[in-house]
Chain A
Amino acid sequence: RKEVEQDPGPFNVPEGATVAFNCTYSNSASQSFFWYRQDCRKEPKLLMSVYSSGNEDGRFTAQLNRASQYISLLIRDSKLSDSATYLCVVRVRTNAGKSTFGDGTTLTVKP
């Protein structure tokens, strides 16, 4: 079993749709959580950190459930430019340098 698991998709949604991605992690010592975005043949870029209380950045909302070891990302009012692969990332405090990435969920937003 992988340390960080994501539904690979692909998710194909129309513009304006709301879409949610899920991520589960196996290491209960995990302390820091992130969502990264990766465009085709480009490097990953931080989309947002995920805080225990949940956090929102414009159309994007991230949630963390430590008890279930589950992270989610909600995108509202999808734009064509949201088409990308979304990577769930987990770090363990005692292993602070290493980030463990999921394999990503691919989103395609269509007109």
Chain B
Amino acid sequence: DTGVSQDPRHKITKRGQNVTFRCDPISEHNRLYWYRQTLGQGPEFLTYFQNEAQLEKSRLLSDRFSAERPKGSFSTLEIQRTEQGDSAMYLCASSLESSSYEQYFGPGTRLTVT
């Protein structure tokens, strides 16, 4: 399967714990995006990378959130000191470089903070 993959698919954690998610984009895609989706809402943009450079971050991405793409391939999204409000589906997408190119989404990581 050469699509976007995410790991883990589900994560249950206690409030205050740190969590890290991984995204592997489609291999030839130089753009990688992170979104967050809660029930009944559309995906909300968090951040995106072009190769290893993080080009934009949403104001939704508080100081507790950090994303990296160290070698321009896979990316990690870390949430420190998780809160119940962080419970959501975290979606990763990748695309070629251009605003007109399709963004291909991974299956998401569902985070539940108890």
Contact = CB atoms under 8 A, between A and B. Distances in A.
Question: Among B56, B58, B99, which residue has the most Cβ atoms of chain A within 10 A?
Answer: B99
A96 B99 contact: yes
26 contacts: A4-B42, A42-B107, A43-B91, A43-B107, A43-B108, A44-B43, A46-B102, A46-B104, A87-B42, A87-B43, A91-B99, A92-B99, A97-B31, A97-B50, A97-B55, A97-B56, A98-B48, A98-B56, A99-B103, A101-B42, A101-B43, A101-B44, A103-B40, A103-B41, A103-B42, A104-B42
B106 interface: yes
Interface of A: 4, 8, 31-32, 34, 42-46, 49, 87, 91-93, 95-104
Interface of B: 31, 33, 35, 40-45, 48, 50, 55-56, 58, 91, 98-100, 102-108
Contacts, number: 55
B100 A32 contact: yes
B105 A45 contact: yes
Nearest to B31: A97
A99 B44 CA distance: 8
Contact of B99 (A31, A42, A87): A31
